[in-house]
A and B are shown apart, each in its own frame.
Chain A
């Protein structure tokens, strides 16, 4: 990981948070596209994974992201009543309300998880969600606590369970 100096208020030790974002294809992904076409510059710590709808986003994805070393997670989709599939976001809202409260009960700092509604026309809002999430997680520091859960022999390089491609070449 290159220690590129980050100009926007980096933490003392130059820690750069790694954030995975699960976004819905119809609204937030397109909103992020719009942020691109409008050349809205933002922090580069976020990696986007596209899904058809927030209804498809499963809490297992977020737990797995933390297990793979993410310091923060973003979940974003269409505003209520805008869902392309009419009610996917309503189900997601209930699921993530329960998940958010449970994780807080277990002791995970809720500011590591950002939930938002970003429509296809809100490029600027997407940039703000990204910058805010990066700033929050940077302030919280690396999610060492989660990584400490797995002892050395947990086999990180080739995480357990992923099908290892036996490469001839």
Chain B
């Protein structure tokens, strides 16, 4: 039961509560202890570090210091922006001279910068063996078996390399590995790390729609049945804005969080994974997948039974043949 300091950030308590709910459910299932950092505060997101470098470092550092004080050596920050800010602060304090000395009096208590920072994809990739075992062990048929899913990383999850460093910044594979672990088929498409418009969602919505449209079209053209994300902002730009960008009669493209996907593979109930909170309704897709899986399992069972029956019949014929042989003409091979 590895215990990890859990830093939810504002979006996981707000607009993307489903990410928080599915994370908690999956973490419990995988035996990962999540303890929310007491008295955590805002990580500064993009407004922090764009206004002032020291502010951009001190805000996330406060949370790292709290985790350190509360005895943790790893912080899980599922939201890509929080993860990026916490890691960037940790790197800045470790490398820029003069910063480490300022921290104690800014934060009000000593800070050794000893805490490591991970995001949800990293955590699940590292646990992919356990996921595979658990998926196999689940009684209910795996709805994602062989389903084509497109892993969408966005920009903050893997870049800049010095800050994130756990995956290739241009051709990342960590989320694809998690998709494989869930038995699904990760799609090789072209927009894995293309921008979704990020914070321009409100100020320049037209651009966000154009970018989102290009991402979804590319995923669809490669046969993806759903797009998997690990960042609340990517999720809202692709899910919340999808109706505005959709053309008449187009099949909607459900947008799932990586934790929701793992939850489904582990047979958890959609409602526990917050799958009802999406703008693009996920229910039809899930229902179809569950039905498909059931049919498949049934078909397999049937095929097995027939095979067993045929084998039994052949064994039967053979016994008869042997009996005829002994009473036959040349009893040569009699044992």
A and B touch in the complex (CB under 8 A): no
Binding site for A on B (CB under 8 A): none
Binding site for B on A (CB under 8 A): none
